[in-house]
Structure formats: structure tokens, C-alpha cells
Amino acid sequence: MLRKRRFVEHTVAAEILQVASIACETCKMGVVFGPAQIGKTMTLEAIQGDPRYGDPILIRIDESIFRPFALARAIAAKFDLSTWGTFDTVMRRIVERLVGTKRMLMFDEVERVHHRTLELIRDLHDQTGCPVLLCGKPQIYERLGFRHAGDFSEVTDQLAARIIIRRDLTERTRGKNPQPLYTLDDIRNLIKQAELKLHVAPDAVKWLQSRASTLGTGGIGIALGCLYLAYKVAFVQDYEAITAAHLDDVADLTIGHEDAQRVAEVVAESSGIRRVV
């Protein structure tokens, strides 16, 4: 049976938690954005129900709920409210349930939503006083009013006025003194939580840091997919440690997010590894 994932507060996660904390304390809106597979969703999942962040609830946007009424129904369902009736009826139920509670509403993959859906999120914030955390890919930046973007200019200007803090999760990788997206300590902590039965050599730790921090190569998910597969290979071949050479050998096998996810699940299930991403 696949072992339960543990949350590791790596550098990217710490930035998300800081934004969540400020939004919660001020009952305002916060925004975090960055490319896929850097740990955004995992961090939001980890703080669901955590009283330190306003007992937040996570609504992940998918293709079925990117329009206002569909999203309203999804939010109502999260709070075990009836989804029957008109849009106004469902919204009224949500507002009545949330007003005065100061519960954090977290929306993931917000770049997918229709522009009128952003108005719904803004209205929920205004009518309930609940803090809101918006999370998505970099495209979210323009949609929220920090630049004008066609149909989004009017609604997002109003949204931007309610946003107290925003964070580009990859900002530190640019500029005069760029830093890696993940520190070596981040990688060591992820390895420790995976509870591997083999030692991970220093060159392998650096390999994982480089792969995870290089944007466009699949992020931390691909890096750990490589680690899990390399572990399996090294274990079967009776090596005492996983090296960078082992990771190089298996890197071509994890060619995308879906493949890395499959590799991670299969290897973890057969080897007793604890998934951390």
C-alpha cells in the first residue's frame, strides 16, 4: 500500500505560508504564483484545516468549475451546503455560512478561471470578510490587475486593490545575485522524509537540487521521481548509496509530470518509500 505523503516545509513552501499567514491575519487577499511542480498545491493541501491559517479550505479549479455558477456550487459542496437552486440562492447560502467566520478560502490554479469568476471570488471576500489566497501559474499576475489584460482590466483593477501581498515564487532565481529555487537543506529534508534504505551521496543531493531548481525541467516532482526510480535500481543492484550517476541513468525515463507521478507511485508502493511530493 502506498505510504502517506508527509509535508516538508522547503523554501518555496515557506514563502507560500508567509503569504497565507499575512492574508489570514489581515483578512485580506494574498497571491502566490509560479510554474508547475514546485510544491504549490502540496503546500495548500498541507494547511487545510490548520487553525494557524484560519482553518482554510482548498478549492482547486478544474475545467468543470472555471465559470461562476459551477465554482459557487463547488464551494457550497465543500461546506456541505445544498447546491440546488439559482446562482443567487447558492451564493446566499455560502455567504450566510461564512460571514464572520474569517475562514481562509484558498483557490488553486486560478489562471484557469473565467474573468467573471474572479468577480465571484472578490464578492465572496467582500461579503463574508474571509481572507482569500489565490494560487496559480505566472499568467495569474496579469489577470489580477497588476497589468492590464483586455477583458480582465476592469474586474482585476478592483481585485488588485484588495490584495495585500503577492509573491513570485521564482523571483530569487533572477537578478544580480540569483539563488537556487531549493536549498541543499531543502533537498536533504525531502530525502530524510522519504525514509530511504540507502544513503544518498553528496553528488546526488547536488544533482537533485540542480534538477529541482532548473525551471522547465519538471521541478521537484520530476527530481523526486528520478530519486525514487534510482533508489529502486540501486537497491536491486546491491549498491550502498545512490549517486548522481544513478540519477543520470534514470533521468530519461521520467520524461514528464504524469510519467514521474506514475514512477513515484509504482516505486514507492513496491519499496515502502514515503512519498513527500
- The pTM for the full model equals 0.85
Q: What is the mean pLDDT of the chain?
A: 86
pLDDT, tens only, 29-57: 999 999 988 999 999 999 999 999 999 99
Asked whether residue 154 carries a pLDDT value surpassing 80, the answer given is no
The confidence band for 213, taking pLDDT boundaries of 50, 70 and 90, is very high
Domains of the chain as residue ranges with CATH: 11-173 (3.40.50.300), 184-271 (1.10.8)
Q: Do 5 and 276 meet the contact criterion of CB atoms below 8 Å apart?
A: yes
Which of 88-92, 104-108, 115-119, 258-262 has the least mean pLDDT? 258-262
Instruction: Tell me what pLDDT residue 227 has.
Output: 93
Give kind and range of the element (H or E) at residue 135: strand 132-136
Place of cell 489562471: 111
Mean pLDDT score, 10-29: 96
Q: Which of 113-117, 145-149, 169-173, 251-255 has the lowest mean pLDDT?
A: 145-149
Any residues with CB less than 8 A from the CB of 253 and at least 6 apart, and which?
229, 259, 263
